[in-house]
Chains A and B, each alone.
Chain A
Amino acid sequence: MENAIYQKDLLNQAILEMLSLSFTQFEKAMEAFSNNDADLAEEVIHKETRVNALDLKIEKDCERFLALHQPVAIDLRHVMAFLKINYELERIADHAYGISKYLVDDEELIPKKLLDAVNYKTIVETINMMFELIADAYENDNVKLARKIFKKDKILDKINANSFEILEAEIKNDIEITGKALILLSVIKKCERVGDLLKNIAEEIIFYLDAEVLKHRKKKK
């Protein structure tokens, strides 16, 4: 039993490491994007290999844990949650990678008024808050915190929904910025997906803590 507990702790640690890594990657990517910091973007791209390696390691470790320790009940749900959360974190880091690639390809700065128009700051803040909620909920086994995610995700959904029209208007104003606006639109889409991924992670946490399946359920208004 002691060994099983120890091995699960190691898995837990690895997930926290993955969480920290993805968070850092995304934070840096968003900062690099708004400041046109190519060096910071390179850093994110470079670290992607580390993310992939950790992803594979966690998958293999979960497989080994299931084979050797045959967990049941909360331990089983926990390991299944590990696998899914790992997958989602890897996708988040992937999006960070994608955002950074834009910078490396295109040297010029996105105009500040465009960023303001689409509420870029709010996006960054919201996602940061969601990351924090996830980390807290996970570490403290707090289902309530996890549930707070859903409201935050709605903010992102709204911004994403509005961004199309806002950018359309901006392009009509000044045809020169079309390229930048399209890139910005793509970045906002990625942020919306990151929000969804973070929401999924929250659902996984609720699943393993409460054995309550939230997937594909209509949210109460």
Chain B
Amino acid sequence: MNSIQKNRLKDQLFKIWGIACTLIGLVLLAVFIGDILIDGLRRIDWSFITNLPSRKAEKSGIYTALMGSIWILLLTTIVAFPLGVAAGVYLEEYAKKNRFSALLEINISNLAGVPSIIYGLLGLEVFVRIMGLGASVLAGALTLSLLILPIIIVATREAIKAVPQSIRDASYALGASKWQTIRNQILPASGGGILTGVILALSRAVGETAPLIVVGALAYVPFAPSNPLDEFSVLPIQIFNWISRPQHGFIENAAAAIIILLLITFVMNGIAVYFRNKWQKKWK
């Protein structure tokens, strides 16, 4: 076999290996989702969504957990979005590029990898105890904001970095100030990328379980939160709670709740992808 044939063979082998790897992941995911759907799909109806949790599986619903998740999502957005984007803009546009700022950049990336339960402990000490917020939705949201802040900062910086220097030059050359350039050119141009990063970060926050448990989200909550200082529960915790029960009805409930959670995640990711595509079209 000469070298051309050898190369072609290597090509084919790698192709087959790549397809196999991809398929393994996809097949496992498909099996999992299929299994869940079989278990939980018929349990989903309007009463399931609006019922409070109860000791009887048929009567149990995800209403409080769903509301809790929505409260968490909203509060976390309100806190993390402006903070993260502003920090990202400052670090990328205003901060001088020296040793200190390089150190800062490394540390922020590291923070994005810290185990989420550590954030839970931090939130417990600072928000629940020191600030006296108790085991409230607000404390939970603040904790999750800290968790996803590094992700938003990094996504913002990357999106801003992608705006070509020539645009900045053109703006400055016309007499615009730094802030005018950021507001009129850089933010609109990087907006899609920033939004994508924020939505992905938030969809991760929606699925977080451990830090919220540490902060004190309850497993059994008979009411939906009515103000930020109320106690709360979220979908992942509700799922965890139902799975540990022996009754078969609760397994079904858990599967149904998983489907709802997956739905929320998929929708959020879909929105992120939509925005990213729309943003990329602008640069064509």
Question: Do A and B touch (CB < 8 Å)?
Answer: no
Interface residues of B (CB under 8 A from A): none
